[in-house]
Amino acid sequence: MSTSTEGMHTQLLDGPDSNDHDDCNSSEVRYSGQRSFCQEPFKVATACLAAICLILLMILVATSIHSKGSFAAQDSAGQDSPSSSAEAQMQKACANVTDMTAELQKLKKEKKELEEERSQLRFKIAELEAIPTPRTSPAQVTAKNSCPAGWEHFKSSCYFISVYSMSWLESQSYCKKKGGHLAIIHTAEEQSFIWNLLPRGHWNAYWIGVSDKKAEGDWYWVDGTKLVGGFWEEGEPNNHIDEDCGYMVKTEVLSRVATKSWYDAPCFMPWPWICEKEVTGSS
């Protein structure tokens, strides 16, 4: 009786499905009083998480390897870091500066050559100006006053009026090459003769052979003699902008007179000029 009572009591505790240990929705209560649950779902979840972690780890490793390969390629191309890029740009800038310096020196050299060529051309033009035209006969070249063709005679001198422009020094050099010098004017009669040879214009200026290049205010002729008096316009010479060379002007204003027609100007200015040389026995 006691035995059968214990069996019934056990069946009431265990229930009708006490032998089904695979049901994960029910609990198993052991006789010893310890309690446990179905472990299979947790094992599957753990395995899945482990697999996902492994996949993620492999992706990270592959990404890292790819990044290192890209950096290595950039290293070989010289673009690995900002410092390398800045150094390359600096080298390029230095090369550009060197090229520009060389180009500047080349331009300066070409400018100097062009200036020399321009000066030579001016001399050639002036020489051509003095050559008689085809209509001029040899008898006309040798004038009665013994002045060359294109030169005008006054007393013991011949005068040449240029139609081209040069600086004061270039003009003096041309006159010397022709056996004379820039005009030296001592008398009002000579001044008026030369002034009457000049054409009228807005501001027709012609270099003459006087300057104060040696000492400001001390005017000397190209033959070394000191200027006495002169035929300056009122208020001249004024050395307005470092004006060391003298010139003569004839304008369209009829009230201007020959004896007040001299001015001073910077010697580098390009203007026509007046040459003078002594009369000789032949042209």
Residue 283 has pLDDT above 90, yes or no: no
pLDDT: is 196 or 241 the higher one?
196
- 159 and 65, same structural domain? no
In sequence order, the β-bridge partners of residue 226 are 220
pLDDT of residue 75: 54
In sequence order, the β-bridge partners of residue 250 are 204
Q: Quick one: tokens of 210? A: 């006087």
What is the distance between the alpha carbons of residues 275 and 277, in angstroms, rounded to a whole number?
A: 7
- 269 and 144, same structural domain? yes
Residue 183 has pLDDT above 80, yes or no: yes
Query: 60 falls in which pLDDT band (50, 70, 90)?
Result: confident
Residue 169 has pLDDT above 50, yes or no: yes
pLDDT: is 253 or 54 the higher one?
253
Asked, for residue 29, whether it belongs to a domain, the answer is no
- 166 and 66, same structural domain? no
pLDDT digits (tens, 9 = 90+) for 83-101: 677 778 778 878 888 888 8
If one counts the domains in the chain, the total is 2
pLDDT digits (tens, 9 = 90+) for 4-47: 545 544 454 454 444 444 444 444 444 344 444 455 666 777 77
- 146 and 64, same structural domain? no
- 164 and 63, same structural domain? no
pLDDT of residue 180: 97
Query: 74 falls in which pLDDT band (50, 70, 90)?
Result: low
SS3 per residue for the chain: CHHHHHHHHHHHHHCCCCCCCCCCCCCEECCCCCEECCCHHHHHHHHHHHHHHHHHHHHHHHHHHHHHHHHHHHHHHCCCCHHHHHHHHHHHHHHHHHHHHHHHHHHHHHHHHHHHHHHHHHHHHHHHHHCCCCCCCHHHHCCCCCCCCCCEEECCEEEEECCCCECHHHHHHHHHHCCCEECCCCCHHHHHHHHHHCCCCCCEEEEEEEEEEEECCEEEECCCCECCCCCECCCCCCCCCCCCEEEEEECCCCCCCHHHCEEEECCCCCECEEEEEECCCCC
Query: 231 falls in which pLDDT band (50, 70, 90)?
Result: very high
Asked, for residue 86, whether it belongs to a domain, the answer is no
Residue 185 has pLDDT above 70, yes or no: yes
pLDDT of residue 133: 53
Asked, for residue 224, whether it belongs to a domain, the answer is yes
Asked, for residue 118, whether it belongs to a domain, the answer is no
Q: What average pLDDT does this structure show over 209-234?
A: 95
pLDDT: is 144 or 113 the higher one?
113
- 264 and 156, same structural domain? yes
What is the distance between the alpha carbons of residues 95 and 106, in angstroms, rounded to a whole number?
A: 17
Kindly report which listed range (65-79, 180-194, 199-213) carries the lowest average pLDDT score: 65-79
- Residue ending a domain, choose from 48, 70, 92: 70
pLDDT: is 134 or 264 the higher one?
264
Q: Residue 55: give the domain boundaries.
A: 35-70
- Check the CA dihedral 109-114-115-117 and report its sign: positive
Tracing tokens 């005017």 back to the chain, one arrives at 219
Asked, for residue 91, whether it belongs to a domain, the answer is no
Q: Please report, rounded to a whole number, the percentage of residues in the chain having pLDDT higher than 70.
A: 72
- Residue ending a domain, choose from 51, 70, 89: 70
- 171 and 48, same structural domain? no
Q: How far is CA 255 from the centre of its chain?
A: 49
Q: Please report, rounded to a whole number, the percentage of residues in the chain having pLDDT higher than 90.
A: 46
Residues in the chain: 283
Amino acid at 169: L
Query: 61 falls in which pLDDT band (50, 70, 90)?
Result: confident
- 274 and 162, same structural domain? yes
- Residue ending a domain, choose from 25, 49, 70: 70
pTM of the model: 0.53
CATH of the domain at 168: 3.10.100.10
Residue 216 has pLDDT above 70, yes or no: yes
- 259 and 153, same structural domain? yes
Mean per-residue pLDDT over the chain, rounded: 80
